Structure 1
Amino acid sequence: MLSRLEPQSLEDHPLPGPSGRGAILLRFGEGADALVVVMMHLALGGGARARQLAYIRELIAGYRHQVLMGDMNTHANDLLENSPLRDLGLLAPQVEATFPSWRPQRCLDHILLSPSLTLERVDVLAQPISDHLPVAVEIRLPDSLQGDALPVQASEPT
């Protein structure tokens, strides 16, 4: 994930189910207006994936501004209509195929946004760096997360 803002916290969460699947949670800002970003790699099987999404749903409970992204190994309508995420009102702005990268036929990689965030741009990048194509979004942050509300990551002079 690339961001001009520095997160206040970063957490690594092993997900329930098959070993090797996990989620990384980043939090930007504090309190009710904080933004939570979760990057994940979900299981192939529907049952394990549902347990993983229920776990992630608990992680993000209480956050109004949410971004969920990663290799979700299922289609967006399954995530939005039939999973533990269905009550969040998340938006899936990207429907272009991402898998396999050499001849994309299925859309398994997603960036889901809460309705409180404004989508500026979405792209599937033609960069076959793995068996999945990367997805990129630009979002407009709510006023509470702009300006001096959050620290900007600075680089040291060399």
Structure 2
Amino acid sequence: MRLATFNILHGRSPVDGRVDVARFAAAVGELDADVLALQEVDRNLPRSAHADLTAVAAEAMGATDHRFVAALDGSPGATWTAATGAEQPDSAGYGVALLSRHPVAAWEVVRLPALPARGPWRWHDQPLPRLVRDEPRVAVAAQVETPAGCVTVANTHLSFLHYWNGRQLRQLVRALRDARRPLALTGDLNMGPRRAERTTGMASLAVHRTFPADRPERQIDHVLADGPLVATASEARRLALSDHLALVADLELV
């Protein structure tokens, strides 16, 4: 099973600042993933031509099952509220998606704790920290029926606030405690491999620098495993969009 995780920057290319749906579809096709975890996914938002990027990706990769889960209802950077799961199917939203060429036997959504107030954060080009409002965070998990057996795959995008994303990750691990093993936990965790392994108790199956895409300095995108999964090959791949590299791992049950 080829598993890929990709923070798609809502399909935008940093080179020209545009969201080209055809370019996005071509990038997804290039990954040739059996299971694809996407973060920063738009649905019906003006900045991405009102496209349903999950549906575009599903068609491009030939996914038979897919699920978009909104973290927020509305438009990032404008008017939004935390999504609850009760939104209309075609409502504007932003969140994560999980897609599979193999049948999915069950889905689970985990809504992660939001920072209750603005928190301090220092951007790299600023001498002093500022108080920032973090977005809601969510995870989606699927029991994927691969030809070799069932694998649970979970996808999330955690806070960029270092003192908060660890709490979110610990809660996600607790929420997945009873999920069927083996478990692959993937996504943009906004932390490095050692901290991700230490927080989850899981093993990293793909260790490659993934951010920023033009000159990767660190790994914040991960494929972690709990149970008998090994990677026979892995890579970080630069595509024609996003400020992240896509992280790809070919997995086998052992």
TM-score of the aligned structures, taking structure 2 as reference length: 0.48
Bigger radius of gyration: 2
Contact 1:91–1:115, Cα closer than 8 Å, also in 2: no
Q: Aligned pair in 2 of structure 1 residues 91, 76: CA closer, same or farther (>3 Å)?
A: same
Are residue 132 (structure 1) and residue 244 (structure 2) matched? yes
> Which residue pairs with 1:7 in the alignment?
104
Local SS of the residue matching 1:47: helix
- Tell me what 1:72 maps to: 189
- For residue 34 of structure 1, report the CA deviation from its aligned partner: 4.5
Query: What per-residue deviation string (whole Å, max 9, x for no partner) do you get for residues 13-67 of structure 1?
Result: 32212433211111135xxx85211111011123321221122112221333110
Number of corresponding residues: 134
Structure 1's 115 and 9: CA in aligned 2 closer, same or farther, altered over 3 A?
closer
| Map 1:1-150 → 2, pairs under 5 A | 1=36, 3-17=100-114, 18-28=134-144, 34-62=150-178, 63-81=180-198, 83=199, 85-86=200-201, 90-141=202-253
Distance 1:41 1:125 in 2: 19
What amino acid is aligned across from residue 189 of structure 2 in structure 1?
A: M
Structure 2: unaligned runs, 5 residues or longer: 1-35, 37-98, 115-133
Q: Percent identity?
A: 26
The two structures have a TM-score, normalised by structure 1, of 0.75
SS at match of 2:224: strand
Q: 1:110-158, CA deviations, whole angstroms, 9 ceiling, x for partnerless residues?
A: 111224112222111121521111101111135xxxxxxxxxxxxxxxx
Q: Which runs of 4+ in 1 moved over 6 A?
A: none
Give the conservation status (yes or no) of the 8 Å contact 1:41–1:72: yes
| Structure richer in strand, relative to its length | 2
Aligned residue for 1:10, secondary structure, equals strand
| Structure 1: tracts of 5 or more residues without a match | 143-158
CA RMSD of aligned residues (A): 2.0
